[in-house]
A and B are shown apart, each in its own frame.
Chain A
Amino acid sequence: MTRFWRRHRSLIVPYSLLLPAFLVVFLLAFYTCLWLVRMSLVNWSFGAAWSKAQPAGLSNYVWLLTDQATPLWKSLQLTGFFVLGTVAAELVLGFGLALLLNGRVMGRSIHTALLVIPIVVMPSMVGMIWRLYFSYDGLINYLIETLTHLKLNWYGAGLALPAVMIVDVWEWTPFFILILLAGLQSLPHDPFEAAIVDGANGWQLFRFVTLPLMAPLLVTAILLRLMDSLRIFDVIFVMFGGGPGSATTTLPVLVYRITMVARNVGRGSAVSVMLIILIVSLTILLIRLFQKARIEV
C-alpha cells in the first residue's frame, strides 16, 4: 500500500484538482443519462406518476425506427436540410464578408464590434421578433413587396423552414465573419509576396495562397457550427413550435413534440437517446478533424 502511494503520489494532486468537476459534472450527467435511458424503455404518459410507467422493452425504439407513422425520418431529413443549408449559406456569406472586411475598408473595428450583436441577443427573443418580421404584414414582406410587388406567406408549410433558416443565417453569419477575419488578419505576409513576385493574379492568390492557409480554420469553424446548428431548439420552438404541420420539426423540436405535445415520454426519450448518440459520434469525428486542423494551425 505504501509502495502504491509512493509510486502514485504525483497523481494525487491532479486528480484531486479534477475531483470537484468530476463529481458535479460527470456524476450529474451520468445519473441524468441513466434516467433518460430508463425513461426510453417504458410506456409513460407525461405528467403521470413514475409508478404508472409500463415496461416496454425496446418497443419505443422499434416504433421510431420501423413504424410507418414514425416522424423520425422526416425529422432527420429536415434537420439535415436545415443544418447543411444554414451552415453552407453562413460559410459563403461569412467568408465573403470576412475577405471584404480584410481589404481596404474604413472602420473595421466598428464592424467587428457591432457584428457581435446578433450572436449574443437572447435566442428566445430573436425567435419572437422574427416571428413578427415574417408575418404577412411584417418587415420582410414589406421589403419583398417594395422590390417585387409580391407578398409571401412565410407562416405556410412551404416557407416556414426557409424563414427559420434565414433567422439562423442572420444570427450566425457574424460568427463566420469574426472568426475568419481574425484568421485572415493573422496570416503571414511572405507567401503572398512570393506569389505576387511570381505574377499571380487576384484569383490565383485566393485559390492557391489564401484558401490553403485558411483551410484548417475553415474546417474548425464549419464543424463547430454544424454541431451547434444540430442542437438548435429555442429559435425554432419560439417561431413556429415545429409547425405548421411538421414543417419545422427538426430533431430537437421532435423531442419536445413527442414528449410534451403527444405526451409520450418513452418515445420522446428514445428520440433524445438517438439524438445524443448522433451528436456524440459526429463530435468524435469532429475531434479527429479538429486535431488535424490544430496541428496545421
Chain B
Amino acid sequence: MAANKFRLKRWLPMGISNLLASLALITFLFPYLFMVASAFKERLDVLAYPPVFFFKPTLENFSQVFGDINILFYMKNSTIVATFSTLLTMVIAVPATYALARYRFPFKESIAYGFLLLQMVPGISIVFALFHIARMVNLYDTYLFLILVYLLWNVPYAVWMLRGFVESIPVDLEEAAMVDGASRFGAFFRVTLPLMAGGLSASAILIFIGAWNEFALAFFLTSTGARTMPTTIAFFMTHAGIKWGPMFATATIGTLPVVIFALLVRKYFVSALTLGAVKG
C-alpha cells in the first residue's frame, strides 16, 4: 500500500507535466498542421462548419496554384532575391565582423551599435521613401533594388550574430599560423573561416529565411516583375471573396522549405534569435 502511494506521488506529477507539455505542443502545431491539411481539401470542406478534420484529399488546389497563379514564377523570384541578398550579406558582413572582433580602432563600439540601431528600424517606416527612390533611379520592381534594400537589415543582423562566433575562436590559432609564415589574411582564410563555418552557415540560413518571409518591403517595392512569395496573398482576394483552398496550398508550398531549413539549423536557432546574446 505504502509502496503504491509512493509510486503515485512520483508518477502523477510527471504524468501531468508530460500531458501539459504535449497539450502545449499540439496547441502550437495545430494551426500549422490544419493549414497544411486544408491545402488538400475541396472548396466546400475548407469553409465547412463545424470544421472538417477527416476528408478525402485532393490535389485540386495545387494544380490551380501551379496553373492559374503560376506560383513557380514567384518562387523563382523569392529564390533569386533571398539567395543573392544572403550571399551579398555574407561577403559584406564577414570582413566587417572580423574588423569588429579582432581589431582595436576608434569608434568601434559606436559603429557596432550603429548597426544594431539600423536593424531596429521598421521596414514599413522607410518603405515609401525607398519606393520614391526606386522610382527616381528606375529600379522599382527589380530584383536588384529588393536585394540592396534587404542588405540594410541583413548586414547588421549578420554582424551582430557572427561577432560572437569570431570572438569565441582564440586569436592564438591565427597567430600560430602567422608564425608559420601565413599572412594575416591567409591565416583568416585557412584557420578562422573554417572554424566559423557552423555559425556562418547558420546565420546564412536564417538570413535566407528572413528574406524569404519578408512582406512589407517586397509588397510595396515590386509589382509584377520581382514579386515574391509572401506577397502573393493579394492574388487570392477576389471580388467573389477569398480563394482559401489555393491560398492554403500556396502557404504550404511557401513554408515547406523554410520549416525544413529551420529544423536543420535548430542547434543555432536560439543564439540566432537573440542576436548571439545566448549561446544555444
A residues lining the B interface (CB < 8 Å): 10-11, 13-15, 17-18, 20-22, 24-26, 28-29, 31-33, 35-36, 39, 46, 50, 97, 100-101, 103-106, 111-125, 127-130, 132-133, 137-139, 142, 170, 173-175, 178-179, 182-183, 186, 217, 220-221, 224, 227, 230-231, 233-234, 237-238, 252, 255-256, 259, 265, 268-269, 272-273, 275-276, 279-280, 283-284, 287, 290, 293-294, 297
Contacts and interface: CB of A to CB of B under 8 A. Distances in A.
Contacts, number: 267
Contacts of A46: 128
12 contacts: A17-B95, A21-B95, A21-B115, A32-B126, A36-B128, A36-B129, A97-B24, A122-B229, A128-B242, A129-B34, A224-B274, A231-B123
B251 A129 contact: yes
Contact of B258 (A15, A121, A293): A121
Contact of A120 (B115, B258, B280): B258
A273 B129 CA distance: 11
A233 B124 contact: yes
Contacts of A284: 117
Interface of B: 14, 17-18, 20-21, 24-25, 27-29, 31-32, 34-35, 47, 49-51, 91-93, 95-96, 98-100, 102-103, 105-106, 108, 111, 113-118, 120-126, 128-130, 132-133, 148-149, 151-152, 155-156, 159, 184, 209, 212-213, 215-216, 229-231, 233, 236, 242, 244, 247-248, 250-251, 254-255, 258-259, 261-263, 266, 269-270, 273-275, 277-280
A21 B126 contact: no
Main secondary structure of the interface of B (DSSP, over half): helix
B262 A234 contact: no
A178 B266 CA distance: 10
Contacts of A17: 95-96, 98-99, 103
Contact of A128 (B102, B115, B126, B251): B251
Main secondary structure of the interface of A (DSSP, over half): helix
